[in-house]
Copies of this chain bind each other. A is one copy, B any other.
């Protein structure tokens, strides 16, 4: 099978690597605005050919869009314009309502499957790609009734080849869930980094004292704005809702400390500890 990867970065690159290893993809076209990424991806053997969008799409059975969600929403109608009834288009974006709404009246909407693999790191670019990244993670398919059966089956096979577990939900449900299971984590991590950078003027001290706990909490704060601003923008209402809840949870800790109510502090911590039973 021939595939096109639009956006040969962390996600697109990792998918291409794995799909090629699985012999699911025989030939991979790479399309990207970033020429360095294209050259790197070619050199790393992630793609076979650097191509224009038109040429790549024309010659592929499957087109995977793996670029920031604002750009994905813009490019999807163009890609659908170019495909025929034997071709399938999928994306990998972290928000779903924006992109499905962008093509809801498109004549070839049913050639598109809304997809979100629940994996990522704070790094970007083809050099960060790892073929085993997705293994054992969830892959969300949204609004499956709007996709043609053969397109849906092909995307399921992609998920299988990535060793992912498929979950189905509506695009709006998806955006609510990801607001608190993924997007808020990034905001807290960014805000934590800013707190420490504001309070701790001696960068050396941060570097020297940073424990593994701090590093893991602040890891996501390394994630790039090019990817995350569009996500927050498209999922604004849900993210704000969760952010308000988060600030109110932090205020409970603040109030417990201010009032020296250590029983309440203990209760808050014990409640948080319940996450241990949910996440191994």
Contact = CB atoms under 8 A, between A and B. Distances in A.
Given A195-B246, A220-B216, A279 B138 contact: no
A interface secondary structure, majority: helix
A271 B211 contact: no
A52 B270 CA distance: 31
B247 A209 contact: no
Contacts of A249: 191-192, 194-195, 198
Contact of A269 (B184, B225, B243): B225
B182 A218 contact: no
Interface in A241-275: 241-247, 249-254, 257-258, 260, 262, 265-266, 268-275
A142 to B, nearest CB: 13
A137 to B, nearest CB: 7
- How many protomers of this protein does the assembly include? 2
Interface residues of A, number: 91
Interface in A199-250: 199-200, 203, 205-225, 228-229, 232-233, 236, 239-247, 249-250
Interface stretch (A79-87, A100-108, A115-123): A115-123
Contacts of A196: 180-181, 184, 275
18 contacts: A165-B208, A178-B209, A181-B200, A184-B192, A195-B242, A197-B272, A197-B274, A207-B278, A210-B278, A222-B275, A223-B269, A229-B262, A229-B266, A233-B260, A236-B257, A243-B253, A243-B257, A250-B250
